[in-house]
Amino acid sequence: MHNLTLAQQLQALAAGEFSSVELTQHYINRIESHQDSLNVFVTFTPERALEQAQEADQRGTDKPLLNGVPLALKDIFCTQGVKTSCASKMLDNFIAPYDATVVAKLQQAGAVSLGKTNMDEFAMGSSSESSYYGDVKNPWDLSRVPGGSSGGSAAAVAARLASASMGTDTGGSIRQPAAFCGITGLKPTYGRVSRYGMIAYASSLDQAGPFGLSALDCAYLLQAIAGYDAKDSTSVDQPVEEYTTNINKDIRGLRIGLPEEFFQEGLDADIRAKIDLACDQLRELGCVIKPISLPNAKLAIAAYYVIAPAECSSNLSRFDGVRFGYRCEDPVDLADLYSRSRSEAFGAEVKRRIMVGTYALSAGYYDAYYLRAQKIRRLISEDYQKAFAEVDVVLSPTTPTTAFKTNEKADDPITMYLSDIYTIGVNLAGLPGISIPVGFSQKLPVGMQMVSTYFAEDTLLRIAHQFQQHTDWHLQTPAKFE
């Protein structure tokens, strides 16, 4: 059962080949067998999952879209009655009193929740090594990272511990772990999916999105979670496409652009070769591939690591030891309560970004750093819009290398930040992007990223789906988890 895609599981459930309870129990057994080696889950909820599975089996003929399939949720989505920690000591004791809109919509669609997945603390990281609960392991090689910050959600799908999962993407945190783990990951347009109940890191960049084995799996999940939400002031009132239907439309004649800036120094030669082969396959499917330029792409990392920390320093000011979360013992006064609660409960990477962001926003430095970064952000967005006047999709590697070893970059945060070099500009511009597997390099998965204009997720899903109809990279399973 676990080697079926989510779409195939939905068909099998509808045909009565197995029940939701049987499928859910199968995943529960797999999680119990593999959790210790992978450290994928922060909170595992088997009893709750089986209750939801029983409800799914008892529904009548008019079943909701995702009825009975077991999913995993990144531990950043508030889930009523379940610990929601953001993988931080700060929220280790926090039980969410309400559901995030994404969680509520998945429940309305009939999905079963297996629990909350491990991640980089407060979504700050590219490797899932900054978690208070320990490192997440890559199912393809347990000595390597699964990517981040949504590494637990990606590893859960890659190891077949869930039918699919939900993550968030601030600078590549869905697409990069999807590439490292050999699965499909979709970052929707900013505002396409509600951020209500999703604990904020950088509010102008964060976006929820799905992981699945296939593009069709991601289409099912996006169909369920997309749409306007009055509770979220950044939500866009835009009609939701029929993603699961449109995915079968022809892609012949679609124009795909290869940005020359993404195929230069720093890109692993074997990854470049795999992208070239994937482009050959897309040409055979009728796509037109041409070179383009994104001249300001090289500035994306510098701009991102001013804007994102600035927003994080503001968002994380609410964690002060007073209202909820961790509180230090026996504070002598209010200042001591604030400083010790925060210094004791935040990890090193979170502290680093808070300090950088506070500095960038401080008097005398706002114009020099934050304002300039926002101007660069506009230039990057304009580069993409100029490109989309010529092409329908921008294609590139998802990452410059395959998954690196655990602790390999832990002491060098700047090198770590470079692993998101191809993904960050997409968040700065608010565009949708998808990563799909296109092969292996030294037995590790290689991912290819495609980006389209605003609210054109259906175009990305169509191309990815047609590619996956003619390849099987997305169906490969790590040997230890077959």
Residue 410 reports pLDDT greater than 80: no
Provide the mean pLDDT of the chain: 96
Spatial CA neighbour of 153 closest among 47, 21, 131: 131
Catalytic residue among 130, 163, 173, 435: 173
The pLDDT score that the predictor gives to residue 314 is 95
Residue 412 reports pLDDT greater than 80: no
Catalytic residue among 88, 149, 214, 435: 149
Q: What are the C-alpha distances in Å from 461 to residues 55, 148, 244, 424?
A: 31, 22, 9, 20
Element spanning 270, H or E: helix 269-284
24: exposed, middle or buried (Cβ count in 10 Å: 0-12, 13-18, 19+): buried
Confidence category of residue 409, pLDDT binned at 50, 70, 90: confident
- 149 is an active site residue: yes
Spatial CA neighbour of 72 closest among 95, 97, 37, 38: 38
Task: State how beta strands 184-187 and 207-212 pair.
Answer: antiparallel
Mean pLDDT of the region 183-193: 98
Residue 150 reports pLDDT greater than 80: yes
The pLDDT score that the predictor gives to residue 266 is 87
Percent of the chain with pLDDT over 90: 94
Residue 413 reports pLDDT greater than 80: no
Cα 461 versus chain centre, distance: 16
- 375 is an active site residue: no
The pLDDT tens digits of the residues spanning 61-76 come to 889 999 999 999 999 9
Residue 128 reports pLDDT greater than 90: yes
List CB contacts of 365: < 8 A, sequence separation 6 or more. 359
Residue 120 reports pLDDT greater than 80: yes
Between 265 and 353, name the one with better pLDDT: 353
Question: Left (φ > 0), alpha (ψ -120 to 50) or beta: where does 453 sit?
Answer: beta
The pLDDT tens digits of the residues spanning 15-50 come to 999 999 999 999 999 999 999 999 999 999 999 999
Residue 342 reports pLDDT greater than 80: yes
Spatial CA neighbour of 297 closest among 256, 269, 257: 257
Question: Left (φ > 0), alpha (ψ -120 to 50) or beta: where does 138 sit?
Answer: beta
CB 24 within 8 A of CB 9: no
Residue 365 reports pLDDT greater than 90: no
Catalytic residue among 20, 74, 85, 274: 74
Q: Is the whole-model pTM more than 0.85?
A: yes
Mean pLDDT of the region 383-396: 98
What are the structural domain ranges in the chain?
Answer: 6-251+458-481
Domain spanning 6-251+458-481 has what CATH number?
3.90.1300.10
Residue 283 reports pLDDT greater than 90: yes
Query: What does the buried/exposed string (b/e) look like for 406-419 if buried means 16 or more CB atoms within 10 Å of the residue's CB?
Result: bebbbeebeebbbb
Other beta carbons within 10 Å of 60 = 5
CA–CA dist 127, 176 (Å, integer): 9
Residue 280 reports pLDDT greater than 80: yes
CB 19 within 8 A of CB 9: no
The pLDDT tens digits of the residues spanning 427-474 come to 999 999 999 999 999 999 999 999 999 999 999 999 999 999 999 999
Task: Please report the DSSP string for 11-75 in residue order.
Answer: HHHHTTSS-HHHHHHHHHHHHHHHHHHH--EEEE-HHHHHHHHHHHHH--SS--TTTT-EEEEET
Confidence category of residue 262, pLDDT binned at 50, 70, 90: very high
Two tokens at 160?
A: 């077949």
CA–CA dist 144, 137 (Å, integer): 6
Mean pLDDT of the region 396-423: 86
The one-letter amino acid at 104: A
Two tokens at 142?
A: 């347990």
- 74 is an active site residue: yes
CA–CA dist 380, 386 (Å, integer): 10
| Backbone CA torsion sign across 236, 102, 350, 266 | negative
Residue 418 reports pLDDT greater than 80: no
Spatial CA neighbour of 464 closest among 290, 335, 287: 287
Spatial CA neighbour of 116 closest among 41, 200, 8, 227: 41
